[in-house]
Chain A
């Protein structure tokens, strides 16, 4: 019997699939957050642990040296600030976790600590922070820097950043708020402490000017692939998001993270590794197979362009310069996501670029079929990998979300593989089951 696993949804505060035949008016209405209110209610009904909003803060110009393709397909831009969306989503739901991405390269730690603590109050203990270090110099230039520090230095900064933020969350002892009507005493100043942090990258006096929220420390989420990133994730994260289409590699990755966590003195079960998948669900097997082929097989010119533009902005290498039918280049270097690039080169040795992007256009192992068939496949994958669940990622329409939330998820719930209730008061406790 496969043990139950977790579901989460990977999202952006960005235009949904506006040109899809089932887009409705999403192209215009997404700005207000109402679209996201609708979809998160579906996800909560379907037993999702959380919705995660990835984020970035630039308009890509790597592909072809201009923003033309990125803006044509609304790819990586525009994105609105997910922090402002979270309170609305919290107001309209009761249990599901809400994760926003924020970069340790661009926020002052005091602002981020305060923002997350405020959101933890506003969500009543349901907020998470997806920690990213950012990898694009073009984003750094928006924030007044010429370029980002080197990859490993960014992780060093991130370590100190997370340390400072945790100190700020701990700067009010439990019981600091006394609220004594008799003496008129609201809080006890002997339980509120400056942190006086003076490190290599940050100096922060503290204390935080507010008590921490119900979770104390919000859930930390991370997506480290490189050795430095994996160590960071194993040390700090409660949820890890990972991308790999090969099941044996998924297993290897999860085991590596768990081993590293143990090395840092953590219980490996306190880290949930969630793998990106893009299930294609239909009423019949045939229909699903066809839909899957349409989405990921024989790519159209537009799909190829979008995929290459996406890779270009993540790796900061202009893929428009390569011949689609020549062998995949093997000597690429970036100060961006080097681990993604290395993995990408290694996996595609001997293939042409065109062949490689067919695989790249989907983020995890192929899953398609009727709800029962997809559930079978997901069950098998978790059985082989060992845990801990999936992060659904797909162009967003209400119809697709409904296929997952009213088709696939109920099937998984019937099998006892996905939660039907949220027994604990906070996101972190629900995720960890204690």
Chain B
């Protein structure tokens, strides 16, 4: 017995910044970080492996939560520098034909009109392969770059996201599909009776419209989101086509998460099959299981020798300074945040050392082994969870890791018949919803 076919996607953690550098197989990753070549290689390799899409994560501030200074972030190039993914995306789609490209853009930083226009342009340029990873912003340093002291309170940010989403969708469909007529006989390019203002007046945004460009091949881009909190899930259930989810707690919890999302989607009047839940994993792969576990041990030793690296992310996402606790001190009940709630809640009652050892986000679901071993593990997990696939993430991104996945793991999954061998459609959403 095998799982039903499932999807593969890539989560480019830490965005368009410094990837692997200074390590054995980093290549020129440090010097050439601003060159898009690694990203183009990533897109081409993953298209060869028939991935559905690549998310380019993003945030637009200099983090300083850990220890109240940017020192450790800059020292380790953690979460900074990051460049704007909206201008990396066209390079990745220009070099490929089928894979979806998903830049991250925040509803707290952009005006809906500007964002709708950028995404519409990218969908035209990629011929229907653009997605939008919807984020609401969490760190107050970002708010301060945009003239505010802080973002709205957590749940209200999602109210704003709802409104942003509605307005953007209105703008994307403000031109009817057949508004461009290209009639040479009458010299008519477009039919103005098919282009409509949106005249939107909301609590947070207003816009007259129409968008100043026709509908793009997908009409609406493919929507990706990662809300794990109750309010975030509610947003996902109505808006998302793909959901980024953690695997904390293993397949049983993963299944519960997915069942909940599907039930909420049905309540929101959508087909649950139109919402794909993808789980973040970072498989450790080598030629044999033994070598893979040896690699895993080396990674653990490195993490234990550099505990701050793991805590840097946790601090900036949760907006809680994890340098305030000793590595063996339990994080007390009652610690709250206006940042990422789900992540913080998973830390309470544990010590920083414990959190690090578990490998944050990986929980007790360790994926280590030869390509065949890992393929079997993923197959088994998907069978239990019910769907819909995995998002591969690696902070230490280099070409060697890309190849281990694209040329090692994926062929092993294909041999089991659980991932696609060919794309069946031309646009991103059609491929994503094909099974």
- A and B contact pairs by CB, cutoff 8 A, 25 listed: A19-B187, A33-B90, A33-B125, A58-B212, A71-B190, A72-B188, A77-B213, A80-B124, A80-B125, A80-B213, A81-B118, A86-B87, A108-B145, A115-B84, A143-B113, A143-B114, A144-B206, A176-B74, A179-B31, A184-B75, A189-B70, A204-B145, A209-B82, A210-B80, A210-B83
Contact pick for B207, options A27, A141, A302, CB 8 Å: A141
Give the A-B contact count at a CB cut-off of 8 A. Answer: 211
Please name all residues of chain B whose beta carbon is closer than 8 Å to the beta carbon of A27 when the two chains form the complex: 182, 189
A433 lies within 8 A of chain B by Cβ:
no
A85 and B187 alpha carbons, distance in the complex (Å): 27
Most buried by B among A33, A88, A181, A186: A186
Contact pick for B187, options A72, A188, A205, A211, CB 8 Å: A72
Please name all residues of chain A whose beta carbon is closer than 8 Å to the beta carbon of B117 when the two chains form the complex: 57, 80-81
Q: Give A265 Cβ to nearest chain B Cβ, in Å.
A: 30
Given contacts A67-B195, A143-B207, A144-B207, contact A186 B76 (CB under 8 A): yes
Contact pick for B184, options A19, A88, A188, CB 8 Å: A19
B173-232 with Cβ < 8 A to chain A: 179, 182, 184, 187-192, 195, 205-210, 212-214
* Interface residue ranges, B against A (CB under 8 Å): 16-18, 21-22, 30-31, 34, 36, 59-62, 69-71, 73-77, 80-84, 86-91, 94, 109-111, 113-114, 117-118, 120-122, 124-125, 127, 141, 144-148, 179, 182, 184, 187-192, 195, 205-210, 212-214
Q: Give A247 Cβ to nearest chain B Cβ, in Å.
A: 34
Contact pick for A141, options B77, B81, B147, B208, CB 8 Å: B208
Please name all residues of chain B whose beta carbon is closer than 8 Å to the beta carbon of A57 when the two chains form the complex: 113-114, 117, 212
Contact pick for B214, options A78, A86, A143, A187, CB 8 Å: A78
**Interface residue total, chain A, C-beta cutoff 8 A:** 73
Q: Give A314 Cβ to nearest chain B Cβ, in Å.
A: 15
A73 and B30 alpha carbons, distance in the complex (Å): 49
A115 and B34 alpha carbons, distance in the complex (Å): 13
Please name all residues of chain B whose beta carbon is closer than 8 Å to the beta carbon of A58 when the two chains form the complex: 212
Counting from the closest, the 10 A-B pairs by CB-CB distance are A205-B144, A71-B190, A186-B77, A210-B81, A141-B208, A74-B189, A121-B34, A118-B83, A81-B121, A31-B124
A21 and B185 alpha carbons, distance in the complex (Å): 12
A415 lies within 8 A of chain B by Cβ:
no
A363 lies within 8 A of chain B by Cβ:
no
Closest residue to A203 on the B side, CB-wise? B147
Q: Are A88 and B75 in contact (CB under 8 A)?
A: no
Please name all residues of chain B whose beta carbon is closer than 8 Å to the beta carbon of A194 when the two chains form the complex: 62
A13 lies within 8 A of chain B by Cβ:
yes
Q: Give A397 Cβ to nearest chain B Cβ, in Å.
A: 14
Q: Give B87 Cβ to nearest chain A Cβ, in Å.
A: 5
A79 lies within 8 A of chain B by Cβ:
yes
Q: Are A189 and B187 in contact (CB under 8 A)?
A: no
Q: Are A32 and B124 in contact (CB under 8 A)?
A: yes
Q: A59-B195, A189-B69 are in contact. List 10 more A-B contacts (CB 8 A).
A: A19-B189, A57-B212, A67-B195, A80-B121, A81-B117, A83-B87, A84-B118, A87-B91, A119-B87, A187-B77
A331 and B152 alpha carbons, distance in the complex (Å): 48
A71 and B210 alpha carbons, distance in the complex (Å): 12
A121 and B190 alpha carbons, distance in the complex (Å): 37
